[in-house]
Amino acid sequence: SSEVLEAIENVILDVLTSLAQKKAPVLTLANRSDWRNIEFKDSVGLQMIPCSTTKKIRSDCPKSAPKFALMLKILSMIYKMVQSNTYATKRDIYYTDTLLFGSQSVVDNIIDDISCMLKIPRRSLHILSTTKGSVAGNLSYTEEDGTKVNCTCSATAVTVPSNVEGIKNLISHAKFMLIVEKDATFQRLLDDDFCNKLTPCIMITGRGVPDLNTRLLVRKLWDTFQIPIFTLMDADPHGIEIMCIYKYGSVSMSFEAHHLTVPSIKWLGLLPSDLERLNICKDALIPLTKQDQNKLASIQKRPYIAHQPMWKRELEIMAASKMKAEIQVLTSLSSDYLSRVYLPNKLQFGGWI
């Protein structure tokens, strides 16, 4: 915490020094959304390069002055929280002054900018992100406050903890981990008792694009147990994008890649090549929209796809067919096809890439 306080004090000192010299204060931070600032490393995923291009938030420019003021406002709130050892969610911060901030996304963006500027992970700034992910299966652990959590015996999932760093005594006999894109599929697999039927496993869903805590938990489980991790996504550009976030990270959070990515993640399904192999009826498939095609083209150009020839091939199959499918398409074969046939076969015969 003393490091965090010192980092904030240094920023404020720079502002005061500029004012003393009759100069307009400026905050400088790495440009998080610029692909030129990102390098791809097989062992880490997408990470920010040390000498990345920066953007300046000026206090004397009408366009950026409001953001400059809001950054100082949130820095002062973080400073107080670290001093008093209290925590808040991004939502709590927004609700301290909704009129001033205008929207939740403004707060979210500024907090990520501050984290990047100070080079300090969000958790150390005493800001908790709201959790939307769930975990189930062969896993138990103790939360930071001493609460014992057992995911094994419940038919319902457990919410991913909001302080992943603080959990300890992780115990599991799971043979693998399955990341499921959507909550509906996750619930269906829970109802079918998938976690216990085949071999013990851990299932996680981030309910779409994963929040920070879900990504931290996947990474923590990987560090602790070193078991294979598979993903089950829709066969569409959006599903592939989500899988890439778990595996290689996102551009906007690349400055924190080391805590968030698991490059050994495997793509289990739904593969575009599965649709033909399983003779899925054409009427059950959905044509790619223009937006889908643009997203697919942008994913195909990313640096990590060149390292994954089999993924590249699957993306080419999707681009050529101009079709996508949701995991639910498997119910056209039989209502429990996913848990009874598809997943057991894939896991037994190595049907992942």
Q: Which residues are identified as catalytic?
A: 95
Closest to 214 measured CA to CA, from 175, 161, 262, 263: 161
The helix, strand and coil proportions of the chain, stated in percent and rounded to the nearest 5, come to 50, 20, 35
C-beta neighbour count of 204 within 10 angstroms: 27
Closest to 112 measured CA to CA, from 165, 59, 48, 51: 48
Which residues, including other chains, have CB under 8 Å from residue 31's CB and lie 6 or more apart?
37, 52, 53, 54, 55
Task: Quote the tokens at residue 250.
Answer: 């996102």
CB 27 within 8 A of CB 56: yes
Q: Is the alpha carbon torsion for 344, 350, 326, 190 positive or negative?
A: positive
C-beta neighbour count of 91 within 10 angstroms: 13
What are the CA-CA distances from residue 287 to residues 132, 211, 293, 296, 318 (Å)? 30, 29, 10, 13, 10
Closest to 232 measured CA to CA, from 213, 209, 250, 205: 205
- Which stretches of 97-174 are DSSP H helices? 98-101, 104-118
Secondary structure class of 239 (helix, strand, coil): helix
C-alpha dihedral over 323, 325, 330, 331, to 10 degrees?
-110
Closest to 179 measured CA to CA, from 81, 78, 261, 80: 261
β-strand pairing of 54-58 with 134-137: unpaired
Secondary structure class of 5 (helix, strand, coil): helix
- State which H helix or E strand residue 159 sits in: strand 158-159
